[in-house]
């Protein structure tokens, strides 16, 4: 099994490739790379999900995975990751960022889709 640092590093490398693809106008490739980055980051977050003594690393990995889930259109998964992060003991600034993601990115997206 891969370790947390390796998964996170691989995820960030995929994000870098997605940024490059976006600059080159390769929309389908951006989505594909964002989804792959999300899967790696979610796997890293899963490895520390029950390790509450690893804050803020635990919350940061969940926040990153949630942001990548949003970027790849997996809103329900992002909501679940945010909830799991907030169920721990994240520092206040990270907790606020998580709530902002929830309200500004997920809930506002749902309202747009429902209209």
pLDDT of 14-45, one tens digit each?
999 999 999 999 999 999 999 999 999 999 99
Quote the pLDDT of residue 105. 85
* Whether residue 58 has pLDDT greater than 70: yes
d(CA 20, CA 55): 31
Which residues constitute the domain of residue 12? Answer: 4-114
Q: Report yes or no: 102 and 79 within 8 Å, Cβ to Cβ.
A: yes
- Residue 47 confidence (pLDDT) above 60: yes
- Give the model's confidence band at 84: pLDDT under 50 very low, under 70 low, under 90 confident, else very high: very high
pLDDT of residue 87: 95
CA-to-CA separations, 7 to 28, 48, 80, in angstroms, rounded = 23, 12, 20
Separation of alpha carbons 83 and 72, rounded Å:
18
The number of distinct structural domains making up the chain is 1
This prediction has a pTM of 0.88
Task: Taking residues 74-101, report their average pLDDT.
Answer: 95
Measured CA to CA, the distance from residue 23 to residue 1 in angstroms comes to 34
């Amino acid at each position: 099994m891969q370790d947390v640092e390796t998964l996170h590093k691989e995820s960030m490398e995929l994000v870098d490739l997605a940024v490059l693809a976006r600059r080159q106008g390769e929309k389908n490739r951006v989505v594909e790379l964002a989804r792959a980055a999300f899967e790696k980051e979610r796997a890293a977050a899963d490895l520390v999900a029950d390790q509450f003594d690893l804050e803020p690393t635990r919350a940061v990995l969940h926040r990153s995975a949630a942001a990548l889930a949003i970027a790849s259109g997996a809103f329900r998964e992002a909501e679940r990751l945010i909830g799991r992060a907030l169920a721990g003991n994240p520092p206040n600034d990270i907790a606020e960022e998580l709530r902002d993601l929830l309200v500004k990115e997920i809930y506002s997206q749902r309202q747009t889709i429902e209209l």
